[in-house]
Amino acid sequence: MLSAFDARDATDLAALVARGAVSPDALLDASLDRMAQWNPRLNAVVLVQEAVARRSIAAGLPRGPFRGVPFLLKDLGCEAVDFPSHNGSNLLADTQYARDSAIFARIRASGVVTWGRTTSPEGGIGAATEAAVYGGPTRNPWNLDHTSGGSSGGAGAAVAAGIVPFAHGSDGGGSVRIPASSCGLFGFKPTRARLPDGPYAGEGWAGMAIDGFLTRSVRDTAAMLDACEGVDPGAPYWAPPLARGHMQAISRPPRRLRVMVCDTTFTGDPIHPEVREAVLATARLLESLGHHVEPGRPRADIKAMMRAWTDIVACGTALGVRKALAAKGRALQPGDVEGVTRGAIAHAATLSGADYLESVGRIHAFGRDMAAVFDPEDGAGCDIILSATLAEPPASIGRFAHDTEDYLAYRTGPGGIFDYSPFCAAFNASGQPAASLPLGWSSNGLPLGVHLAARFGSDEELIALCAEIEHSQPWIAHYAKLEG
User: In terms of DSSP bridges, do strands 186-189 and 434-441 run parallel, antiparallel, or are they unpaired?
Assistant: antiparallel
Paired residues of 188 in beta bridges = 435
In the set 31, 56, 74, 120, the catalytic residue is: 74
- Per the annotation, the verdict on 74 as an active-site residue is yes
- Per the annotation, the verdict on 151 as an active-site residue is yes
In the set 56, 101, 151, 182, the catalytic residue is: 151
The residue type at 455? R
CA distance 10 to 5: 9
What string of H, E and C letters represents the secondary structure of the chain?
Answer: CCCCCCCCCHHHHHHHHHCCCCCHHHHHHHHHHHHHHHHHHHCCEECCCHHHHHHHHHHCCCCCCCCCCEEEEECCCCCECCECECCCCCCCCCECCCCCCHHHHHHHHCCCEEEEEECCCHHHCCCCCCCHHHCCCCEECCEEEEECCCCCHHHHHHHHCCCCCEEEEEECCCCCHHHHHHHCCEEEECCCCCCCCCCCCCCECCCCEEEEEEECCHHHHHHHHHHHCCCCCCCCCCCCCCCCCHHHHCCCCCCCCEEEECCCCCCCCCCCHHHHHHHHHHHHHHHHCCCEEEECCCCCCHHHHHHHHHHHHHHHHHHHHHHHHHHHCCCCCCCCCCHHHHHHHHHHHCCCHHHHHHHHHHHHHHHHHHHHHCCCCCCCCCCEEEEECCCCCCCECCCCCCCCCCHHHHHHCCCCHHHHCCCHHHHHHHCCCEEEEEEEECCCCCEEEEEEEECCCCHHHHHHHHHHHHHHCCCCCCCCCCCC
Q: Are 400 and 342 in contact (CB under 8 A)?
A: no
Task: Tally the residues of the chain.
Answer: 484
In the set 89, 148, 175, 359, the catalytic residue is: 175
- Per the annotation, the verdict on 328 as an active-site residue is no
* Residues annotated as catalytic (active site), given as ranges: 74, 151, 175
